[in-house]
Amino acid sequence: MSKFQALERYENSLKSGYRLLPFRFTQLSGDDYVLSNLVGEFVVLKRSVLNDFSKGCLLPHDPAFEELKSKHFLIDDDSSVVVDLLALKLRTKLAPLANFTALHLFVTTLRCDHSCPYCQVSRANDDRQEFDMSEETALKSIDLAFRSPSQVLKFEFQGGESLLNLNLIRFIIEEVKRRNAEQRRDIQFVIATNLALLSDEAIELARQHDVLISTSLDGPEELHNRNRPRPGNDSYKRTIEGIQRVRRELGRDRVGALMTTTAASLSLVRGIIDEYIAQDFRGIFLRPLSPYGFAIKTKFYQAYDQSKWLEFYFEGLDYIIDLNLKGFGFTEYYAAMVLRKMLTPFQPGYVDLLSPSGAGVAAVVYNYDGDVYASDESRMLAEMGDKRFCIGNVHSNTYEEIFLNDTLLEALESSFAASVPMCSWCAFEPYCGADPVFHHATQSDFVGKKPLSAFCNRNMSVFKGLIERMNSRPEVREIFERWAYM
C-alpha cells in the first residue's frame, strides 16, 4: 500500500457541503449575473448557476464552485482560514478611513482671468482684494489641517485662478514647512492653475518646494477656447505653453491636466484624447459634467443627457483600450480608479466614490473668507445659494465643531451606501460611493432615490461596462490589471 493518500481523502466538502458567505448579485445583461463579496471580489455567472449556488446544490467539482471558493463566496469543511483572509481584506479596504482628512484645499482667491460659463465661483479679474484669502485666514486653516491625524497631508491651492494670489501661496507653503520641521509628516503641494499667468516667480516657487502643477485642458484648441473664454481668446495657447514650460523647467511628470466635460465635448471624445496624447500625457480622466456652478443655471446640465455622456465615455474608453492593444500605453483614470477597487485589495481615495462619503473626510475646502466646506462641490453649491455643506468658519469654530458638524455627520451617516435602499443590495456597492452632496443638490436628500439618480445611473453603467469588457476579452483584462495597479 502506498504511503501516500489520494486527493479525495482531503476533499471534505464532498461530504460537508458548503455554506454561503455574504455576497450580492446584480444582473449584467441577459443571462449574466455579477456576484460580489464585501471586499469587492467578483464572479460572473449564468442565472441558473447562481440559482444552484444560492440553493446550496452546486457540486464541488463544478468550475464555478472552485472559482466561488477561491474568491471567498463560500466556506466548507476544508478550510476556515477564509474568514481570516476576508477580515484582513476588509481591514485593508477600510484602513484609509483612520487617516481622516489628507487633502486640504485652499481657495486662495476667487479672482480669475477667465470667464468660463460653467464656473460658478470665480469673479472678474480686477485688483480688488476682497476675494483674496488673508494671511490670518490661511494661518487658522493651517492650524486645522495639522489637526488631521493623517501622516500624509496634501495642500492644494485653488481659485478662481490661484496664481493671482501667489504671495499667499508662498506664505502658506513656507508656514507649512516651518511647522512640519517638527511634525515630520509627508507633505505634498499642488497648485491648480489654468497656467495663463505662469510667472517666473511661480515656477521658482514650484521648483523650490516640489510643487505639482495641476491644470485644465479641455481638448483641442477650438473646444478649449470655447469652454474657457478669456480676453484675447488665447486660453489654449497659454495653457499649452505653460505645460511645456513646466515640463522643461520642473520635469515632465510635474504637470497633470484635468478636463471639464461640457455639452460641446460630447461628440469630440477622440479629438480630446488625441489632444492629450499630442501633449504627451499618458492618460486622461474622462470626467462627468458636474451639476454645479453655472452649469445648472445656464441649462447646460439639463441639456446634458446622461446617456450621451455614457456614449461619450465608452467611445473614449474603447478608443483608449484599442490604443493599448496596439501597444501604446495610455490610461483612462476614472476606469483605473474603479478597477483598483475591483481588482486589487486597495481602496483608492477618490473623493466622489467613497462610502462613507469622502465629504469632509477625504478632503476639506478652506474658502477665501474662512468658510470651511465639506467638498469642492459644497462650495459651488453655496455660491448657488445653498450653504448646507458649509461646516464652519476657521475664525469662529474649533476643529471639533467643524468636523463634528451636525449636517456633516448626518450626511455621512445617512448616506452610507451599505445601508441605504438599493445600494445595500447592489453588487456594485463595494466599488461605489455615497455622495450626499450630489444627492442633496439634485434631490434635496442626502440619500437620494437611486433609480432617479444620475450618479447611480452613470456609475452602474460604468461598472457594468468595465466588467463586461474584461470578462469577454482576456487581453482587455490584462490592460485593466495594469491600470489597477498603477
By the criterion CB under 6 A, which residues form the site for ligand SF4?
A: 417, 422-423, 426, 428-429, 432, 450, 456, 459-460
Among 31, 62, 67, 174, binds another protein (CB under 8 A): 67
Rule CB under 8 A: is residue 5 a binding residue for another protein?
A: yes
Q: Which is nearer to ligand SF4, 272 or 317 (CB)?
A: 317
Reduced to 3 states (helix: H, G, I; strand: E, B; else coil), residue 238 is helix
How far is the CA of 193 from the CAs of 162, 190, 199, in angstroms? 6, 9, 12
CB contact set of 73 (below 8 Å; sequence gap of 6+): 20, 21, 23, 35, 37, 41, 43, 53
Choose from ligand SF4, another protein, none: what does 113 bind? Cβ within 5-8 Å by kind. none
Choose from ligand SF4, another protein, none: what does 277 bind? Cβ within 5-8 Å by kind. none
Q: How many CB atoms lie within 10 A of CB 73?
A: 24
Among 78, 175, 249, 369, binds another protein (CB under 8 A): 78
Among 1, 30, 80, 98, binds another protein (CB under 8 A): 80
Residue 281 zone, left/alpha/beta (φ > 0; ψ -120 to 50; rest)? beta
Length of the chain: 486
Rule CB under 8 A: is residue 326 a binding residue for another protein?
A: no
Instruction: Enumerate the H helices of 131-250 as residue ranges.
Output: 135-147, 166-183, 200-209, 221-227, 235-250
Q: Which amino acid is at 84?
A: D
Q: Which is nearer to another protein, 6 or 181 (CB)?
A: 6
Dihedral through CA 437, CA 439, CA 442, CA 444, nearest 10? -90
Please name the residue that has the C-alpha cell 471567498: 72
Q: Which is nearer to ligand SF4, 199 or 419 (CB)?
A: 419
Choose from another protein, ligand SF4, none: what does 79 bind? Cβ within 5-8 Å by kind. another protein
Phi first, then psi, for residue 391 (nearest 5°) are -100, 10
Contact by Cβ (8 Å): 230, 216: no
Rounded least distance, CB 426 to ligand SF4, Å: 3
Rule CB under 8 A: is residue 424 a binding residue for another protein?
A: no
Rounded least distance, CB 10 to another protein, Å: 4
Contact by Cβ (8 Å): 447, 424: no
Cα 148 from Cα 96, distance rounded (Å): 13
Rounded least distance, CB 73 to another protein, Å: 13
Grid cell digits, residue 443:
434631490
Rounded least distance, CB 78 to another protein, Å: 4
Q: Which is nearer to another protein, 7 or 98 (CB)?
A: 7
Choose from ligand SF4, another protein, none: what does 303 bind? Cβ within 5-8 Å by kind. none
Among 1, 4, 15, 200, binds another protein (CB under 8 A): 4
Q: How many CA atoms lie within 13 A of 412 on its CB side?
A: 20
Choose from ligand SF4, another protein, none: what does 117 bind? Cβ within 5-8 Å by kind. none
- Check residue 288 and report its DSSP letter: P
Enumerate residues 337-396 that contact another protein by CB under 8 A: 344-345
Among 20, 57, 59, 88, binds another protein (CB under 8 A): 88
Positions in the binding site for another protein (CB under 8 A): 3-7, 9-13, 41, 66-67, 69-71, 78-81, 84-85, 88-89, 344-345, 478, 481-482, 485
